[in-house]
Amino acid sequence: MRHRIFTAVASLVFTFAAACAADIPQVGQEAPEFSLPSQEGSQVSLKEFRGQWVVLYFYPKDMTQGCTIEAHNFQRDLPKYQQRHAVIVGVSVDSTDSHKEFCTKESLTFKLLSDPDKKMVDQYGSLSPHGMASRNTFLIDPAGKVAKVWTAVSPAQHSEDVLAALSEVSK
């Protein structure tokens, strides 16, 4: 009996995960537009970045180990992104106050956007079954199209992977 229940639950989880993955914007598609508040309180929209590469990364929670490692690595590599005319934008469902505290504590200077209604996270197919953002990243080209997608990324090496892809696609 327990095995049947486990199998049924596992099947539902995998079906849900597959349905979410189908909603992830694909390479070549127009990136979904957004406008969300940053840690500074100002609204940030995708259209503001036309003409630049955008590294749009979703992460689960401010001030947690993996999210801090990922943010530190993006911050460490920020000059390399700027040389390639790319901006870093992080998104989670945390509040702007939480983002502000996270940026202050960790000396982060790029934009972190707050999506407590989970609309943008869902629009990018990055809403986890736990109600947080999944660790997914989208490289958006200067014309606003998705150039590369990473899902379920490993935070420790992710910035290097994104830089390598950015070097490839921006040639």
Per-residue pLDDT tens over the stretch 16-50: 444 444 489 999 999 999 999 999 999 999 999 99
Per-residue pLDDT tens over the stretch 51-84: 999 999 999 999 999 899 999 999 999 999 999 9
Q: What is the pLDDT of residue 1?
A: 58
Which of 67, 87, 162, 166 does the annotation list as catalytic?
A: 67
Band the pLDDT of 169: cuts 50, 70, 90.
confident
103 classed as catalytic? no
Region of residue 19 (phi > 0: left; psi between -120 and 50: alpha; otherwise: beta): alpha
Cα of 146 vs its chain's centroid, Å:
13
Region of residue 68 (phi > 0: left; psi between -120 and 50: alpha; otherwise: beta): alpha
Per-residue pLDDT tens over the stretch 77-127: 999 999 999 999 999 999 999 999 999 999 999 999 999 999 999 999 999
Taking the C-alpha atoms of residue 112 and residue 108, their distance in angstroms, rounded to an integer, is: 9
What pTM does this model have?
Answer: 0.86
Taken in order of first residue, the domains within the chain and their CATH numbers are 25-169 (3.40.30.10)
